[in-house]
Amino acid sequence: MKKQIIDQIDRSLLRELQRDASQSQRDLAERVGISQNACWRRLRALDSAGILQGSSARIDRKALGLGLVVFVMLRTRHHSADWLDDFRRHVQTIPEVVDFFRIGGDYDYLLKVVTESMDSYDAVYQRLISKVELDSVTSYFAMEAITEQRPLPL
């Protein structure tokens, strides 16, 4: 994928959107120091380039009773494209898995699981291992979220 060249105005727009994506285009243009039409054109270009991928709200997970965060490290002996496709599809059916990475090092995959309790995590674990063969599963339980959902460094 070709890297999109963005300038300081685009970076300012992106920083502002990460700070508050609900602000009006007028307010966004004013904060960045460009006209509303220029703002609209730049946002369309960022969207067309795939840099902007929708908008979402940050939600306080604890306020919804989602107090347990688990980082799950997975190792497998299977590395075929078919196994990986099956594994990806399976993991994506588990809504508690909020982040999913293929990684290098001692483990092959890293999952971030957000759920209510140890019992609900055990149910996630049981679903995770029910459909695919894994070599090892190691879970790390977060004690405290020092910084979470930080904006990208622009």
- The string of DSSP letters for 99-130 reads EEEE--SS-SEEEEEEESSHHHHHHHHHHHHH
pLDDT tens digits, 83-122: 999 999 999 999 999 999 999 999 999 999 999 999 999 9
Residue the block writes with tokens 């919804």: 64
The number of C-alpha atoms within 13 Å of 108 and in the hemisphere containing its C-beta is: 14
Alpha-carbon distance 10 to 3, whole Å?
A: 14
Residue 2 pLDDT greater than 60, yes or no: no
What pLDDT is stored for residue 84 in this prediction? 93
| Average pLDDT score, the chain | 94
Alpha-carbon distance 69 to 51, whole Å?
A: 28
pTM: 0.85
